[in-house]
């Protein structure tokens, strides 16, 4: 780790009014610790190590005598231990100060500090604080280069949606069979062609399958998924980021579009779509108003606004997930989630925050969500990519 990165970590600590940031790992159970400190996930980690970064001054490196070089690439004063008593003696050097650690009362995705280790740290006299806001400030806020990477990828994904829907339209016009897997293959090939990378299987869901938010067509018996049928709701959900060769920490874009396999949509489909669009736009307007007033909304507050719209439209029982998630070098990133129900996120939407807005409703015969990506810069919000979806895709002539 270079000194510039150390300064960034200490800057995050100062912003959260803590005395320091305490990293620890055992058998690589905390991938965030490895990632933030730049440690190899393949290195030996058969014993606990601790890396204590104070708000100012020299970090403290605590490692076992069996693995004395576990933290050898990091700056700081080294300390070795062989027994639990010696480890406690090392940790007592940090006593009486408030340390941000990798746990959260409400966000389990970053809660890697186990109860036993926390008890040992408290026994040594350390004061422990949730590290969710620290992690957000260091990893979940995008700089200008990261925003540009996100925007480039978003532009690609919108183009891929257009190409994919053009194939759907062509199949409909020619009365030619088309399967979910056929369209997903087009998406995957376009992602590779454009030098992007992704993980998992894109969602291409037809008819009843669109009612499953995490539907995977490749899990079907034919591996091609369902055959599109006239009148089917078609759900697209795709995500990718630039390959590391383009930008060292390529940032994901993650979008969802909805269509109908036909020229017209059933009234209940139209009603559901107009409701999720209204929900999404209400969330955007709330963010805009709060920022204009000089306030930073929380992810939970934005989620509540979006859900109020869907509840008012009669879809209270049809909501299955939060309104959005943080986005960074991971598609579900370390920044603010737009969530007031699953894992309430009270972190603020600071400059550099990037997140999805994807309200959805899921009914017995179909489901749908509309997903856009938003980032905050210079106290204003921006929607990435092309114009967001306001009308259902249809198979026009």
Q: How many Cβ atoms from other residues are within 10 Å of residue 314's Cβ?
A: 12
The whole-angstrom separation of Cα 57 and Cα 323 is: 41
Q: Which two tokens stand for residue 24?
A: 């620890």
DSSP per position, 136-191: HHHHSB--HHHHHHHHHHHHHHHHHHHHHHHHHHHHHHTT---BHHHHHHHHHHHH
pLDDT at site 223: 84
- Residue 217 phi/psi, 5-degree rounding, is -60, -30
154-184 pLDDT, tens digit each? 999 999 999 999 999 999 999 999 999 999 9
pLDDT at site 219: 86
Do 198 and 243 touch, CB atoms closer than 8 A? no
Q: How many Cβ atoms from other residues are within 10 Å of residue 177's Cβ?
A: 9
Q: Which two tokens stand for residue 139?
A: 């990893």
pLDDT at site 396: 81
Section 101-108 average pLDDT: 92
Please, which residues have CB within 8 angstroms of residue 372's CB and are 6 or more apart in sequence?
Answer: 255, 280, 356, 357, 358, 383, 384, 385, 388, 389
The whole-angstrom separation of Cα 171 and Cα 313 is: 34
207-248 pLDDT, tens digit each? 999 999 999 999 887 889 999 999 999 999 999 999 865 545
pLDDT at site 245: 54
pLDDT at site 305: 98
Q: pLDDT over 70 for what percent of the chain? A: 98
For residue 129, the cross-strand partners are 100
SS3 (DSSP) at 68: coil
pTM higher than the cut 0.85:
yes
Do 55 and 13 touch, CB atoms closer than 8 A? yes
pLDDT at site 387: 86
Whether pLDDT at 312 is above 70? yes
* Torsion angle, alpha carbons of 336, 340, 345, 349, to 10: 40
Q: Are strands 127-130 and 98-101 parallel, antiparallel or unpaired?
A: parallel
Q: Which two tokens stand for residue 307?
A: 């859900």
**Start-to-end Cα distance in the chain:** 58
The whole-angstrom separation of Cα 339 and Cα 251 is: 21
pLDDT at site 397: 58
SS3 (DSSP) at 12: helix
The whole-angstrom separation of Cα 89 and Cα 331 is: 40
SS3 (DSSP) at 298: strand
For residue 380, the cross-strand partners are 377
187-196 pLDDT, tens digit each? 999 999 999 9
Ramachandran area for residue 341 (φ above 0: left; ψ -120 to 50: alpha; else beta): alpha
The whole-angstrom separation of Cα 13 and Cα 100 is: 8
Q: Which two tokens stand for residue 376?
A: 């905050």
Whether pLDDT at 269 is above 70? yes
Whether pLDDT at 270 is above 60? yes
pLDDT at site 4: 83
| 285, burial (CB in 10 Å: exposed 0-12, middle 13-18, buried 19+) | exposed
337-389 pLDDT, tens digit each? 999 999 999 999 999 999 999 999 999 999 999 999 999 999 999 999 988 99
- Residue 242 phi/psi, 5-degree rounding, is -65, 145
């Amino acid at each position: 780790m270079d000194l510039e990165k150390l300064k960034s970590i200490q800057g995050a600590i100062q912003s959260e009014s803590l005395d320091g940031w305490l990293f620890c790992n055992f058998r690589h159970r905390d991938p965030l610790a490895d990632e933030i400190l730049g440690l190899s996930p393949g290195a030996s980690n058969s014993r606990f190590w601790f890396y204590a970064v104070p708000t100012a001054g020299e970090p403290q490196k605590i490692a076992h005598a069996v693995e004395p070089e576990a933290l050898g690439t990091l700056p700081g004063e080294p300390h070795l231990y062989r027994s639990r008593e010696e480890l406690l003696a090392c940790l007592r050097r940090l006593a009486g100060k408030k340390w941000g650690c990798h746990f959260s009362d409400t966000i389990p995705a970053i809660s890697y500090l186990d109860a036993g280790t926390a008890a040992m740290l408290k026994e040594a006299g350390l004061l422990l604080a949730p590290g969710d806001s620290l992690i957000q400030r260091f990893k979940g806020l995008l700089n200008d280069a990261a925003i540009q990477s996100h925007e480039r990828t978003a532009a690609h994904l919108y183009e891929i949606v257009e190409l994919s829907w053009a194939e759907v339209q062509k199949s409909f016009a020619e009365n030619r069979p088309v399967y979910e897997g056929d369209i997903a293959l087009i998406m995957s090939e376009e992602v590779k062609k454009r030098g992007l990378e992704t993980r998992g299987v894109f969602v291409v869901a037809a008819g009843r399958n669109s009612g499953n938010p995490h539907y995977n067509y490749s899990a079907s018996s034919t591996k091609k998924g369902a055959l599109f049928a006239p009148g089917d709701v078609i759900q697209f959900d795709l995500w990718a980021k630039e390959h590391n060769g383009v930008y060292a920490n390529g940032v994901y874009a993650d979008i969802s579009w909805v269509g109908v396999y036909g020229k017209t949509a059933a009234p209940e489909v139209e009603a559901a779509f107009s409701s999720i669009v209204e929900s999404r736009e209400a969330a955007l307007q709330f963010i805009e108003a709060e920022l204009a007033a000089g306030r930073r909304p929380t992810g939970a507050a934005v989620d509540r606004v979006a859900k109020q719209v869907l509840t008012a439209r009669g879809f209270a029982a049809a909501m299955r997930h939060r309104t959005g998630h943080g986005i960074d070098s991971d598609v579900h990133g370390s920044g603010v989630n737009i969530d007031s129900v699953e894992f309430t996120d009270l972190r603020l939407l600071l400059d550099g925050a990037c997140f999805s807005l994807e309200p959805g409703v899921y009914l017995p015969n179909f489901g749908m969500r509309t997903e856009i990506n938003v980032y905050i810069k210079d106290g204003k919000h921006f929607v990435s990519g092309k114009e967001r979806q306001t009308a259902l895709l249809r198979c026009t002539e």
